[in-house]
Amino acid sequence: PATQRTLVLVKPDGVRRGLVGEIVRRIEAKGYTLVATELREADEALLAEHYAEHAGKPFLTPLVEFMRSGPVLALVVEGHRAIEGFRSLAGATDPTVALPGTIRGDLARDWGLKVIQNLVHGSDGEESAAREIALWFPAL
């Protein structure tokens, strides 16, 4: 299906640094639609579910701790091939090599932190998008 929904999170570094507006601006400028948004503090259970694919990896504990360090903005974003499209807007996981022009390439910093602070999350496929949207927005 060409029209897709994806789950986007502006992580605590993005909210703390006042980048919510800039990140949402890029999503809207691309032509995607905001279906739902919520600013919230995610608890450990939600984050364990959200990051279930990373169970057992050494960065999971610091990642969950980082994601609990402040509020996150959760968004459901819709548009033509929005899952891949948002991943493209976000750029590579590692901010040092994320291309200029991307959210992470332009704005994120890794500066030797114990977990990569790369401003945003975006679902990586149709199955994870459906799972993550149901998790963060059960009423949708």
The option from Mg ion, ligand DAT, none interacting with 39 (CB < 5 to 8 A, set by class) reads: none
**Cα–Cα dist 14/122, whole Å:** 14
> How many C-beta atoms surround the C-beta of residue 71 within 10 A?
17
- Minimum Å distance from CB 70 to ligand DAT? 16
All residues at 6 or more sequence positions from 125 whose CB lies less than 8 Å from its CB, including other chains: 83
**Contacts (CB under 6 A) with ligand DAT, residues 62-81:** 63
Is 121 catalytic? The answer is: yes
**Cα–Cα dist 75/55, whole Å:** 24
**61 lies in the site for ligand DAT, by CB under 6 A:** no
The option from ligand DAT, Mg ion, none interacting with 115 (CB < 5 to 8 A, set by class) reads: ligand DAT
**Cα–Cα dist 20/28, whole Å:** 12
**Contacts (CB under 6 A) with ligand DAT, residues 37-56:** none
**115 lies in the site for ligand DAT, by CB under 6 A:** yes
Q: Give me the sheet containing 120-122, strands edge to edge.
A: 33-40, 72-80, 3-10, 120-122
The option from ligand DAT, Mg ion, none interacting with 9 (CB < 5 to 8 A, set by class) reads: none
Q: By C-beta, is 17 or 131 nearer to Mg ion?
A: 131
Catalytic residue numbers, as ranges: 121
